[in-house]
A and B are shown apart, each in its own frame.
Chain A
Amino acid sequence: MIAPLDTLARRIQEAVPGARVEVVPNDSPAAQPSLLVDSAHALAIARFLRDEPSLRFDYASNVAGVDWLDSVTKTKTKVKKIVDGVEKEVEETVETKRPGYLEVVYHLYSMNLKHGPLIIRQRTGNRAELNRVASLISVWRGCEFQEREVYDLYGVVFDGHPDLRRILMWEGFKDHPMRKDYVQPDDFEYEPTPHDEVLGRAKEHYPK
């Protein structure tokens, strides 16, 4: 069994000095928390996770990308204020802005000790020019194609990847199709039963 994630995070910080490791809680029904690691130390952390005898995460089953857009969360708080000399409770909304970023998620298992998954994440600085994270191929060879796919579909650049080319789309393709703000070529065609998003496009193309 893997130790609770905060214990594991502490062990990582002891083993890799200077590493920033953060537990990302997950309040969805999956309830599967993960570790956010910083890209500067990701390779050393990965090596530690693989080589440490009590962890031995020797298998990275899956590498996925996530696109997080800029978001604004509004929280309402009740504040006491003095209005016209009378104390009243007033609702105030506080806006917290979170700039967008891209995320790469690795699912790790140990074939040897039969435990897992451990989920680690790397984040880019933003969604534009700060789009670099560390490639973990030198630790898990099987990440090669999957990191290429994340590069292709999300535009995350992996430092240290020996062969970072597009894999599903062609060289010369400019977009990253899995990004949430990807604009498809305008090639909608008639469908007899359009619905949801496709219904909107159907109305644009076939107004009658």
Chain B
Amino acid sequence: MDEGLRSELSKQGIFTTTLEDLYNWGRKNSIWPLQFGLACCAIEMIATTMARYDLARFGAEIFRPSPRQADLMIVAGTVTKKMAPQVVRLYNQMPEPKYVIAMGACAISGGPFKQGYNVLKGIDRYIPVDVHIPGCPPRPEALIHAFMTLQRQIDEQKLTGPDRPRHLVADAPSEFPVPQFGEHDLVPSKNPEVWQPPHSGRTE
């Protein structure tokens, strides 16, 4: 529908919308996070939900203790290799549509513990991440910003066509392989479908 006509109509008291707008509006305003935290960043996430920062303003006040009822996984904290399979399993148990925010240096890259023997170098090795937030820990404002970024992403989704979201593509995966405990490392150490090692950027 033409934007000009729509605003003209709304001045006359006629509200028009599309199914797509309505659907995205509904989804983006009731994102229920999964209630779990992994390390120090979780404290900041808890602060974000409390009265001072009040994540409830964005429709995310209900943290669900069960992955079956959650839409959003906030990976808040250090993902150790011992914990990584459980995090992936929790993600697999969430119903589509589902989103992931990787919160803090640890969750996006291993942070201060990168190159250590027991910390995963970022949860994006095993599950697709929608928004990464740097910081150690990120402030509540940063988490709210990530949340608004996610809402914007949802708002811009097209329900039809080749770049429709994953949950509307019948054969797109909604579960990802859970890594196994190996003798020296997790097996596999990354999921190449989801993540490829970065390039140094230098050529020649």
A: residues with CB less than 8 A from B are 168-175, 177, 182, 184-185, 187-191, 198, 201, 206, 208
Contact = CB atoms under 8 A, between A and B. Distances in A.
Contacts of A182: 117
Interface in B84-136: 114-115, 117-118, 121
Nearest to B183: A174
B203 interface: yes
28 contacts: A168-B82, A168-B118, A170-B82, A170-B181, A171-B181, A172-B181, A172-B182, A173-B181, A173-B183, A173-B184, A174-B183, A175-B183, A175-B184, A177-B118, A184-B117, A185-B184, A185-B185, A185-B189, A187-B121, A187-B185, A188-B115, A189-B114, A189-B121, A189-B197, A190-B198, A190-B199, A208-B200, A208-B202
Nearest to B189: A187
Contacts of B2: none
A175 to B, nearest CB: 6
B184 A190 contact: no
A191 B197 CA distance: 11
Contact of A172 (B118, B121, B183): B183
B3 interface: no
A185 B188 CA distance: 12
Interface string B177-204: 0000111110001000000011110111
Nearest to B185: A185
Contacts of B197: 189-190
Contacts of A187: 121, 185, 189
A171 B202 CA distance: 41
A177 B80 CA distance: 14
Interface of B: 80-82, 114-115, 117-118, 121, 181-185, 189, 197-200, 202-204
A198 B192 CA distance: 24
Contacts of B202: 206, 208
A187 B199 CA distance: 14
A170 B204 CA distance: 43
Contacts of B185: 185, 187
Contact of A208 (B182, B184, B198, B204): B204
Given A172-B182, A184-B117, A208-B203, 6 more contacts: A168-B82, A170-B181, A171-B181, A173-B181, A189-B121, A189-B197
A174 to B, nearest CB: 4
Contacts of B189: 185, 187
Contacts of B114: 189, 191
Nearest to A188: B115
Contacts of A168: 80, 82, 118
A175 B181 CA distance: 13
A184 B117 CA distance: 7
Contacts of A177: 117-118
* Residue of A169, A174, A188, A189 ringed by the most chain B CB atoms within 10 A: A189
Interface centre among A173, A184, A188 (most CB of B within 10 A): A173
